[in-house]
A and B are shown apart, each in its own frame.
Chain A
Amino acid sequence: MTTNISFLLNGDEISYEVKDHWTLLHLLREEMGLIGTKEGCGNGECGACTVIVDKLAINSCLYLAVEADGKTIETIEGLASTDGTLHPIQQSFVDNGGIQCGFCTPGMIMSSKALLDENPKANREEIKHALAGNICRCTGYIQIFESVEAAKEPVVENPVVENKGGQNE
Chain B
Amino acid sequence: MNNYNVVGKRIPKLDAAQKAMGRAEYIQDIKLPEMLYGKILYSRYAHAKIIKIDVSKAKALPGVHAVLTGEDVPKKMVMGFYKDNPPIKKGKVCSFRDEVAAVAAKTPEIAKKAIDLIEIEYEELEGIFDPEKAMEKDSPLVHEYHKSNVLKLPWKLHYGDVEKAQKEAAFVVEDRFSTTWVTHCCMGTSGALALFDAYDNLTIYSNTQIPSLAQKDFLEALKAMGLENKRARVIKPVIGGAFGSKLDTYAYEHIAILLAHKCRKPVKITFDRVEEFKATSTRQPAIMHIKQGCDKDGKLLFRDIKMVLDNGAHTSWGATTPSVMMMPITSLYRVENVRYSAKCVYTNNTYAQAMRGYGNPQATFAIESSMNMLAEKAGIDPIEFRRINRNHPGDITPQNFKITTCGLDLCLDAVEKELKKNGSNEQGVGIGIASLIHVGGGARIYKSDGCGAIIKMDDYGKVNVFTGGTDMGQGLDNITAQIVAEELGLLAEDINVVHTDTDVCPWDVGAHASRSTFVAGNAALGAAKKVKKKLLKFGSKILDAPAEDLVLRDRLIFVPNDPEKSMPIDKLLRKTHFSPGGTMLMADCFYDPDNENLGQDFKGNMSMTYTFGVHGVKVKVDEETGKVEVLEYVAAHDVGQAINPLLLEGQVYGGVIMGLGYALTEEVVHKNGEIMNANFRDYKLFTAKDAVKIKAPVLETADKDGPFGAKGIGEPGCVPTAPAVANAIYDAVGVRIKDLPITPEKVLAALKEKNG
Contacts and interface: CB of A to CB of B under 8 A. Distances in A.
A39 B707 CA distance: 38
Contacts of B240: 38, 101-103
A76 B21 contact: yes
Contact of B688 (A76, A96, A144): A144
Interface string A131-169: 111111111111111000000000000000001011101
A165 B24 contact: no
A140 B20 contact: no
Interface string A84-103: 00100011011111011111
A137 B19 contact: no
Contact of A141 (B16, B188, B241, B688): B688
B689 to A, nearest CB: 5
Interface string B650-669: 10111111100000000000
B186 interface: yes
A43 interface: yes
Contacts of A135: 185, 187, 680, 685, 687
A90 B688 CA distance: 19
B664 to A, nearest CB: 14
Interface stretch (B328-336, B469-477, B498-506): B469-477
B653 A143 contact: yes
B689 A103 contact: no
A167 B28 CA distance: 36
A104 B243 CA distance: 16
Contacts of B188: 38, 40, 101, 103
Contacts of A48: 187
Nearest to B21: A80
By CB atoms of chain B within 10 A, which of A35, A76, A167 has the most? Answer: A35
Contacts of B693: 169
B184 A137 contact: yes
Nearest to B691: A141
A75 B23 CA distance: 12
Interface stretch (B69-77, B430-438, B541-549, B694-702): B694-702
Given A45-B681, A100-B474, A106 B239 contact: no
A128 interface: yes
A140 B22 contact: no
Nearest to A80: B21
A41 B188 CA distance: 9
B26 interface: yes
By CB atoms of chain A within 10 A, which of B12, B25, B272 has the most? Answer: B12
B184 A77 contact: no
Contacts of A34: 22
A149 B239 CA distance: 27
Given A35-B22, A102-B15, A102-B19, A143 B243 contact: no
A122 interface: no
By CB atoms of chain B within 10 A, which of A35, A37, A90, A166 has the most? Answer: A166
A86 B19 CA distance: 11
Contacts of B243: 137
28 contacts: A35-B28, A35-B29, A38-B28, A38-B188, A39-B28, A40-B189, A46-B680, A48-B187, A90-B21, A91-B20, A94-B17, A97-B12, A97-B650, A101-B242, A103-B186, A105-B22, A106-B20, A128-B688, A129-B689, A132-B688, A136-B688, A137-B243, A137-B654, A138-B654, A140-B650, A140-B654, A143-B649, A166-B652
Given A102-B19, A129-B689, 18 more contacts: A35-B28, A43-B679, A45-B273, A45-B681, A94-B17, A99-B16, A100-B475, A100-B650, A100-B654, A103-B26, A131-B688, A132-B689, A135-B687, A137-B185, A140-B657, A143-B653, A145-B688, A165-B645
Interface of B: 10, 12-13, 15-26, 28-29, 184-189, 238-243, 272-273, 472-475, 645-647, 649-650, 652-658, 679-681, 685-689, 691-698
Interface of A: 34-43, 45-46, 48, 75-77, 79-80, 86, 90-91, 93-97, 99-106, 109, 127-129, 131-145, 163, 165-167, 169
